[in-house]
Amino acid sequence: MTDRTPRPREEKIRCDACPVMCYIAEGRIGACDRYANENGRIVRCDPLTVLDRRIEQGGEIKPFLKADWDGTLGDDALFVTAVGAGTTYPDYKPAPFIVSREVDGADFVTVVTEAIFSYCGVKVKIDTDRHLGPEGAVIRAQGEPVGLMITSEYGSQMMSLGGVDHLTGGSKPEGRVTCDTLMRLCNREAVELSVDGGASVIVQAGEPPIVDGHREERMRVGCGSATIGMFASQWQGLVDEVVVVDDHITGVVSEHQAGKVLDWPDTGIRIKGRRSTPGRYFQVADPGLGWGGTNVEDPLTILGDWNPKKGARPGLTLLMVSTTGEQYAYYVLDDDLQPQKRDLPETLRPSVDLIAENCEPALCTVMFMGGAGGSLRSGVTKNPVRLTRSVQGEKTRVTVGGAPAYVWPGGGITLMADVTKMPDNAFGYVPTPAIVAPLEFTLRRDEFRALGGHDDKARAVDDILEHGGEYGADIRAIAPTDKG
């Protein structure tokens, strides 16, 4: 006989912390992995993170133990970040924490909220001479387009990833992958990206890039011309000619201004490429993973015939070197004026080592970038435009997880911040999809009142440490990071 006794229905409550509005059962978490149902109450899964300047720099993460707290605080000793704070959503309500504190005798407030960003992305700087892909090339993660290559910079290549068009303007898989890629990069995790028509690169903030399986160790000291300028005097009297191979500007010491100042004699060398100014050549080869970011594996392929009427002679010596010192070769012209490879003389070894010594470590830099000019401002003030004007007027300081933010001039609040300056796991997501980033606005109390801030919701730091907030009372204190 079938038991028809009705099973008790599992009680679920609705979370209003984001537009998805999950119904969450007791003991379960929402789709974002950030909020849970605990005893019939929506709570934040991660503790509120407080930067504690009293903890030794580099100290381990530890809970803020109320039992060990004597109830006293030094001025500016603790900074309440938005990591773990909760959100203003729906944005008619004040921010989860409006922190009142005294700093150097002045009354300040810090408005703390986890902001939901659809208009956001990351700018990635990759220190490498190796060619990652042409400007404008699509960048993919897990096969989905997530951004594009942008301008090369001095010794680095740049990516722009994310943005609202990838998060919400494409297919559902594209949006999900873009959101996951941004969150992992912002949380300093390693992400593998592939560039259409270019390389595969593993990017992790604060770590060397890995390009097509090759771990970069150093970024170039400069272009080929700059290298000539820096080290021409080191080579004088030790070798007859030096060519510094570079994808952008290949340098030739005998023709270069630095060589002329040193009275360097002509050698009759000829470079295959577009001559810019004396001793400086563009387009000697195509971009690639070889010497100086070119596709060159044998540097002699960029040389034409030597001209004996302009100084070429048997026995003439030639050093060819890349802009990182990783590749180098030494040659001697034979009787037919053909370069023959020889071992690098010990007298030249210090100059090659000096190039390498002057190269900085190759790293990946990830800058979170977002537009905070929308409805989240209502969590600060009843008149949102006044917050924008206060930020642009430099009366309100913006931080992201306690890290200083650069605010772009012009309209709105468009900000950029270094993710290595933030606490671990500072970023989350909501499945709309969008990135959740910690955001803090700090300003004088009188300015806060003047812009129509929610002054009645301000609380002292000690009250927050003692009682927590809307989504719970768990608090952790960590030392401010100094990783850059």
Return phi, psi of residue 9, to 5°. Answer: -75, 135
d(CA 406, CA 388): 14
465 or 340: which leads in pLDDT: 340
**Paired tokens of 307:** 């001209």
State residue 106's pLDDT score: 85
> 8 in helix, strand or coil?
coil
d(CA 88, CA 55): 30
| pLDDT of residue 91 exceeding 80 | no
d(CA 394, CA 115): 21
| pLDDT of residue 57 exceeding 70 | no
Res. 449 pLDDT band, cuts 50 70 90: very high
| pLDDT of residue 62 exceeding 60 | no
Question: What's the rounded mean pLDDT across residues 89-100?
Answer: 86
Q: How are beta strands 48-52 and 475-478 bridged, if at all?
A: parallel
d(CA 360, CA 218): 6
DSSP-derived letter for residue 88 is -
State residue 56's pLDDT score: 52
Please name the residues in contact with 281: beta carbons below 8 A apart, sequence gap of 6 or more: 224, 249, 250, 251, 252, 271, 273, 274, 275
| pLDDT of residue 67 exceeding 90 | no
Query: 448, 440, 337, 471: which is closest to 79 by C-alpha?
Result: 440
Contact yes or no for 323/222 (Cβ under 8 A): yes
Each as own residue / partner, the long-range contacts of residues 141-148 (CB below 8 Å, 24 or more positions apart, any chain) are 141/177, 141/178, 141/180, 141/181, 141/191, 141/192, 141/193, 141/194, 142/177, 144/170, 144/171, 144/173, 144/174, 144/177, 144/178, 145/170, 145/174, 146/174, 146/177, 146/178, 146/181, 146/182, 146/193, 147/121
Which secondary structure element, helix H or strand E, spans residue 404, and what is its range? strand 403-404
Q: What Cα–Cα distance (Å) separates residue 452 from each residue in 107, 335, 383?
A: 16, 85, 6
Per-residue pLDDT reduced to its tens digit, 385-433 = 999 999 999 999 999 999 999 999 999 999 999 999 999 999 999 988 9
The type of residue at 90 is: P
Beta-bridged to residue 255, according to DSSP, are: none
Per-residue pLDDT reduced to its tens digit, 298-317 = 999 999 999 999 999 999 99
| pLDDT of residue 483 exceeding 60 | no
Query: 13, 9, 47: which is closest to 30 by C-alpha?
Result: 13
As to burial, measured by CB atoms within 10 angstroms (0-12 exposed, 13-18 middle, 19+ buried), residue 158 is middle
| pLDDT of residue 383 exceeding 60 | yes
Question: What's the rounded mean pLDDT across residues 192-209?
Answer: 97
Contact yes or no for 45/29 (Cβ under 8 A): yes
State residue 65's pLDDT score: 46
Query: 132, 144, 205, 135: which is closest to 171 by C-alpha?
Result: 144
Which secondary structure element, helix H or strand E, spans residue 235, and what is its range? helix 224-235
State residue 120's pLDDT score: 96
What percent of the chain is predicted at pLDDT more than 90?
70
4 or 480: which leads in pLDDT: 480
Its pTM stands at 0.87
Per-residue pLDDT reduced to its tens digit, 102-119 = 877 789 999 999 999 999
**Per residue in 301-326, is it b (16+ CB within 10 Å) or e — as a string?**
ebbeebeeeebbeeebbbbbbbbbbb
Res. 9 pLDDT band, cuts 50 70 90: low
Question: What's the rounded mean pLDDT across residues 284-308?
Answer: 94
Sequence spans of domains, the chain: 12-44, 93-214+360-469+479-484, 224-357
| pLDDT of residue 61 exceeding 60 | no
| pLDDT of residue 43 exceeding 90 | no
What percent of the chain is predicted at pLDDT more than 70?
92
Question: What is the rounded average pLDDT for all residues in the chain?
Answer: 90
Res. 477 pLDDT band, cuts 50 70 90: confident
State residue 482's pLDDT score: 55
Res. 462 pLDDT band, cuts 50 70 90: confident
Q: How are beta strands 414-418 and 364-371 bridged, if at all?
A: antiparallel
Residue 436, Cα to own-chain centre: how many angstroms?
17
State residue 391's pLDDT score: 95
